Amino acid sequence: GAVVSQHPSRVICKSGTSVKIECRSLDFQATTMFWYRQFPKQSLMLMATSNEGSKATYEQGVEKDKFLINHASLTLSTLTVTSAHPEDSSFYICSARDIEGVNQPQHFGDGTRLSIL
């Protein structure tokens, strides 16, 4: 149980392209999903908290107009990297927390490796 699916797993695109990443909870409902960014050999850095039916909460230093988050249902959150540039290249990972409450564990997807040429 507690499976989180992330799609696509890999994206290679030209500078200036916008890229959408999907995060789905397959066997549970998630009021809250989280988006992280991870550079090689580094830890996970929280970018934003995605709440179903409301606006996302962004961490300090993360541009909300650059990283658009939509959480339209209890099983799907999307992250759109708008007008991506080479410095946006990274490993983006989502996690989801069961609707039962804030004391539930976060379960992670397998990440999306974004490469901007």
Partner 1 sequence: GENVEQHPSTLSVQEGDSAVIKCTYSDSASNYFPWYKQELGKGPQLIIDIRSNVGEKKDQRIAVTLNKTAKHFSLHITETQPEDSAVYFCAASNYNQGGKLIFGQGTELSVKP
Task: Compute the distance between CA of residue 92 and CA of residue 36 in angstroms, rounded to an integer.
Answer: 6
108 binds partner 1 (CB under 8 A): yes
- Encode 30-48: b = buried (16+ Cβ within 10 Å), e = exposed: bbbbbbbbeeeeeeeeebb
114 binds partner 1 (CB under 8 A): no
Among the listed ranges 13-21, 36-44, 61-69, 72-80, the one in contact with partner 1 (CB under 8 A) is 36-44
Beta-carbon count within 10 A of 117 CB: 10
113 binds partner 1 (CB under 8 A): yes
43 binds partner 1 (CB under 8 A): yes
Binding partner 1 (rule: CB under 8 A), the pick from 15, 110, 115, 117 is 110
Binding partner 1 (rule: CB under 8 A), the pick from 17, 49, 70, 80 is 49
Query: What is the 8-class DSSP label of residue 66?
Result: T
Task: Give min distance, CB of 111 to partner 1, in A.
Answer: 5
Task: Compute the distance between CA of residue 23 and CA of residue 78 in angstroms, rounded to an integer.
Answer: 6
106 binds partner 1 (CB under 8 A): yes
Is residue 80 within 8 A of residue 68, CB to CB? The reply is yes
Q: List residues binding partner 1 (CB under 8 A).
A: 4, 6, 32, 34, 42-44, 46, 49, 93, 95, 97, 101-103, 105-111, 113
